[in-house]
Amino acid sequence: MFLKKFSGAGLVALAAAILLGIALSVPTFHSSYAQAPAATEPAPAAAPLAAAPPACDAKTLEKCTPNSGDTAWMLTSMAIVLMMTIPGLALFYGGMVRKKNVGDTVMTSFAITCLISILWLFFTYSLAFRAGTPFIGGLDRAFMQNILSDISTGIGNPNSLAPTIPETVYSMFQLTFAIITAALIAGSFAERMKFSAMLWFIGLWAIFVYSPIAHWVWGPDGIFNSSNPDAWVKVLDFAGGTVVHVNSGTAGLMAALMLGKRKEKGPPHNVVLTMIGASLLWVGWFGFNAGSAVSAGMQAGMAMAVTHIATATAGFTWMLVEWMLRGKPTVLGICSGAVAGLVAITPASGFVGPMGAFCIGVAAGVICYWGCTGLKHMFGYDDALDAFGVHAVGGASGALLTGVFAVSEYGGTAGLIEGNYQQVLNQAIGVGTVFIYDVIVTLIILKVVDLIIGLRVSEDVEREGLDLALHGETVQ
Amino acid sequence: MKIVMAIIKPFKLDEVRDALTKIGVQGLTVSEVKGYGRQKGHTEIYRGAEYAVSFLPKIKLEIACATDQVDKVIETISAAAKTGQIGDGKIFVYGLDQVVRIRTGETDAAAI
């Protein structure tokens, strides 16, 4: 009980511990800055007029200059992917809750953005994207030490995952993925979770679930990384169908199951906010998918094209399905369909062509409609804003269909339509492994947080609305 | 003096106002209200989940008028607000004891 009452104090204690950690790590900062130039410094003899360092590419990763076009595109992508979460996802979710919970809902996205960014700086970036073991990365970039080689000479510090851009840009780009993955989970537990419990859950989840799974699929030595020659299974996941969407949707389902149903449900209070949010997601998703090419070239162009095609198709398909089955086309329906299309094309975007994208769009519109209606009602869980129904169902469908529609001409890997049956199996292994690991670890985290501070607000708070009870604010 | 209180469909407000102005009604008070009558509510569907909306939005008009004008006001509102569909609304009339115009201090009939 003591801990339950003082979960706020617990957070303060955590913050203090983090600050202490920073203080203790100061020597690391100094040594990192002292060492970094020493490690990669061009000889002092290299006068300013000497020949510029060579361009960075897959073979040249040291003492080289990043490609300015690629870097410009990735800087842009980072910014618009951040826009997907705040305000995009915040509004998408905010419009779907009742008015008494809209402040809590939008603030959840905002607070997750801040929390995940701090953890990223400390160690989650290093754990996810640096070489270490096949299961989890190393800590050589903890506190982002050595992330910049030498700014004064224009020498970047690219890595094998992003050979033509500075590692700072790559790290920040990937940060925006970690943010939205965590923020997506909020759709499942909306309108009834304690804010403090949410922060603990999301923080622990980012460390113990997101970091390892991102490392499996995208880490240079990850077990599922399709560009790692030593990978156990080569899983295609261009921009995060498995890492982001199956991952967040599954965690959301676990949270919905652990928290239980809301006492009362109400209709969305403002579908226009949801429409604005869905539109921001659509625009930001070009950074998400085309940005995942980590270059501004042919693959990015195709990723952008297929992203748009699948999204438009899925939005239209959902609208038609709903129109047929329920008699009316709805704002929420077409927006949900578009997001389902974005989710499903995410793993496929660098690997399929335009007609593959069209097929994936149609499938996403139909399957995710079922995910949010038939599937949800069949099992009776209260996935409040359909994080599982759209993201896990759409992400898994997209991941499997990537194995079907991949064309070697576009992304270097053949899929089922070119006779490669194995790829569909690989995709299923990737999705299945992530699902199982996610279920187990997320349940453990939720159980621990529940025992220490309690996951759910009291019935009175839920009835009064989280805005007033938890934040002392109301939205009119 | 009487108060004529009418509950009407929101989109009929302008027509009712125009009609009342034509018969010389000089002022009225409007509120956005919710309620139900024989029309009951309706259902809204979001992602396949049905929500019963049991209170429908309506407009409440309050018009103070002289007793001999009441029939005409009722007739005018009835004509202007009628669609013939369920949910057109109702008109209530009740007594009014006193009226004061704040600016001038005029009372009763002069203040209406």
pLDDT at A263 over 80: yes
At A476 the pLDDT is 84
Element (H, E) at A390: none
Angle value at C-alpha A384, between A399 and A272, nearest 5 degrees? 90
pLDDT at A44 over 80: no
Closest Cα in chain A, distance from residue B51 (Å): 6
Q: At what angle do helices A271-289 and A331-345 cross, to 10 degrees?
A: 20
At A25 the pLDDT is 54
Q: Which of A46, A237, B98, A210 is nearest to B107 (CA)?
A: B98
| pLDDT, mean of residues A191-207 | 97
Query: Between residues A6 and A210, which one has the greater pLDDT?
Result: A210
At A41 the pLDDT is 45
| Cβ <8 Å between B49 and A326 | no
Q: Could you give the percent of chain B with pLDDT greater than 70?
A: 100
Q: Could you give the percent of chain A with pLDDT greater than 70?
A: 88
Mean pLDDT estimate for chain B = 93
Task: List the structure tokens of B74.
Answer: 């009722």
What is the tens place of the pLDDT at every residue in A81-107? 999 999 999 999 999 999 999 999 999
Start-to-end Cα distance in chain A = 34
pLDDT at B6 over 50: yes
Task: List the structure tokens of A377.
Answer: 């009602």
In the block, tokens 């057109």 appear at B88
pLDDT at A339 over 70: yes
Q: Which domains does chain B have, with CATH numbers?
A: 2-111 (3.30.70.120)
Confidence check on the interface: ipTM exceeds 0.90, yes or no: no
DSSP per-residue string spanning A192-208: TB-HHHHHHHHHHHIII
* Residues 6 or more apart whose Cβ sits within 8 Å of residue B20: B28, B63, B73, B76, B77, B80
At A149 the pLDDT is 62
At A17 the pLDDT is 63
Separation between Cα atoms, residue A77 and residue A469, nearest integer Å: 37
At A16 the pLDDT is 62
**Cα–Cα distances in angstroms (integers) from residue A432 to residues A74, A239, A243, A383, A400, in the given order:** 31, 18, 12, 21, 11
Q: Which of A294, A281, A284, A280 is nearest to A74 (CA)?
A: A294
pLDDT at A3 over 70: no
What is the tens place of the pLDDT at every residue in A173-190? 999 999 999 999 999 999
pLDDT at A1 over 60: no
Give the confidence band of B98 by pLDDT, cuts at 50, 70, 90: very high
Cβ–Cβ < 8 Å for A13, A452? no
What is the tens place of the pLDDT at every residue in A274-306? 999 999 999 999 999 999 999 999 999 999 999
Per CB distance under 8 Å, which residues of A are interface residues toward B?
96, 265-268, 322, 326, 328, 330, 332-333, 336, 369, 372-374, 377, 386, 389
| Cβ <8 Å between B45 and A330 | yes
| pLDDT, mean of residues A261-286 | 96
Cβ–Cβ < 8 Å for A291, A81? yes
Q: Which of A224, A11, A336, A472 is nearest to B48 (CA)?
A: A336
B45 neighbourhood in chain A, CB within 8 Å: 326, 328, 330
Q: Select from A268, A374, A389 the Cβ nearest to the Cβ of B46.
A: A268
| pLDDT, mean of residues B55-76 | 95
- Mapped onto helix, strand or coil, the DSSP state of residue B35 is strand
Q: Select from A267, A336, A372 the Cβ nearest to the Cβ of B51.
A: A267
B44 neighbourhood in chain A, CB within 8 Å: 267
pLDDT at A457 over 50: yes
**Cα–Cα distances in angstroms (integers) from residue A409 to residues A299, A412, A414, in the given order:** 10, 6, 8
| Cβ <8 Å between B46 and A373 | no
| pLDDT, mean of residues B32-46 | 88
At A11 the pLDDT is 61
Give the confidence band of A318 by pLDDT, cuts at 50, 70, 90: very high
What is the tens place of the pLDDT at every residue in A375-388? 999 999 999 999 99
Give the confidence band of B11 by pLDDT, cuts at 50, 70, 90: very high
| pLDDT, mean of residues A30-34 | 42
Per CB distance under 8 Å, which residues of B are interface residues toward A?
44-49, 51, 53
pLDDT at A155 over 90: no
| Cβ <8 Å between A266 and B51 | yes
Q: How many CB pairs under 8 A join A and B?
A: 29
Q: Which domains does chain A have, with CATH numbers?
A: 68-146+153-471 (1.10.3430.10)
Give the confidence band of A159 by pLDDT, cuts at 50, 70, 90: confident
pTM of the model: 0.86
Separation between Cα atoms, residue A400 and residue A120, nearest integer Å: 30
Cβ–Cβ < 8 Å for A136, A207? no
At A342 the pLDDT is 98
Radius of gyration for chain B, computed over Cα atoms and rounded to the nearest angstrom? 17
* Residues 6 or more apart whose Cβ sits within 8 Å of residue A368: A314, A318, A336, A337, A340, A343, A344, A389, A390, A393, A394, A397
Mean pLDDT estimate for chain A = 90
Alpha helices in A154-270 (DSSP H): 167-189, 195-205, 211-218, 247-259
Q: Which of A404, A343, A342, A330 is nearest to A373 (CA)?
A: A330
| pLDDT, mean of residues A155-184 | 91
B47 neighbourhood in chain A, CB within 8 Å: 332-333, 336, 372-373, 386, 389
